Amino acid sequence: MPKINVYLPDDLAAAVKAADVPVSAICQKALRAAVASISTARKAAVALGNPDFDPDAHPAFAERVTGRMTDKLREALDRARSAASDAGYVDSGHLLIGILDTPANLAVRLLPGLQAGADDLRTAVAVAERDEAHPTAPDRENSGEPSRWTGLTLPARAAIGAALQASIALGHNYLGCEHLLIGIAHASTGSGVGAVLREAGLTSDALKAAVISVTAGFAHAQQSSATAGTTHATTAQALKVVMDRLDGIEQRLTAADL
């Protein structure tokens, strides 16, 4: 049976050893689940670029994709649909507007570091060529609220597919606004709005690098915070010991009438 090396931080390795965890069995189970999840996501990304594919005809598919979405991305998609209310369809430009209009999401936070401004992008999108092809699969009539796939142009769907691919490539198990921004910028979507992003220096590669940098910095900040918290707790405990000893000395001196 082939062997795969798994590298662990020192503290986790020590804890695993102390707990006598069955590493091989757990890793095999986790890897099987990861392979299945990634395979499904890749198939979904390809399907979304197929004009004959109807997501609403495959509820399990739709549920798996939307299940990966963060709350911020869901909000951005809702805002995109609101922005598209007069158009009757949702194109990649509406997706970008939805991202820009959703407060405090990571995609928007990346822009200043990439020398890009949200207002400039809005202006560029307004004048961009946005005559986007529609899927050949007809939209399904629904008596309730439209699904997240209703009325999406083919480049808009392809952008979500490219976002899935970006999420996988970055090793993420969720789909966020930052991934959708990467997806819109990807040349494979055939979107005029993607060209606007690339002209502003927001290529898919540049955005991926920015996401990696920000998430690495966040992880480092978390680790530093945890270390600082541990140090603070240790210092506080040491101070308590000293104060307890001083109290004891003071009580003995009082008892001795000194």
The pLDDT tens digits for 39-53 are: 777 887 888 888 898
| Statement: residue 233 has pLDDT above 60 | no
Domain count, the chain: 1
- Is residue 122 in a domain? yes
Whether residue 164 lies inside any domain: the answer is yes
| CATH code (residue 23) | 1.10.1780.10
pLDDT, position 141: 59
Task: Residue 67: give the domain boundaries.
Answer: 10-138+145-202
* pTM metric for this prediction: 0.75
Q: What is the pLDDT of residues 9-40, one digit of tens each?
A: 888 888 888 888 888 888 888 888 878 777 77
Tell me whether residue 238 is in a domain.
Answer: no
Per the DSSP assignment, residues forming a β-bridge with 69 are 175
**Res. 214 pLDDT band, cuts 50 70 90:** confident
Which is more confident, 247 or 29? 29
* In a domain? residue 110: yes
Establish if 248 belongs to a structural domain.
no
Is residue 243 in a domain? no
Least Cα distance to 176 among 83, 105, 98 occurs for 105
Highest mean pLDDT, choosing among 77-91, 136-150, 218-232, 242-256: 77-91
Q: Is the pLDDT of residue 185 over 90?
A: yes
Q: Is residue 253 part of a domain?
A: no
> Which pLDDT value is given to residue 13?
86
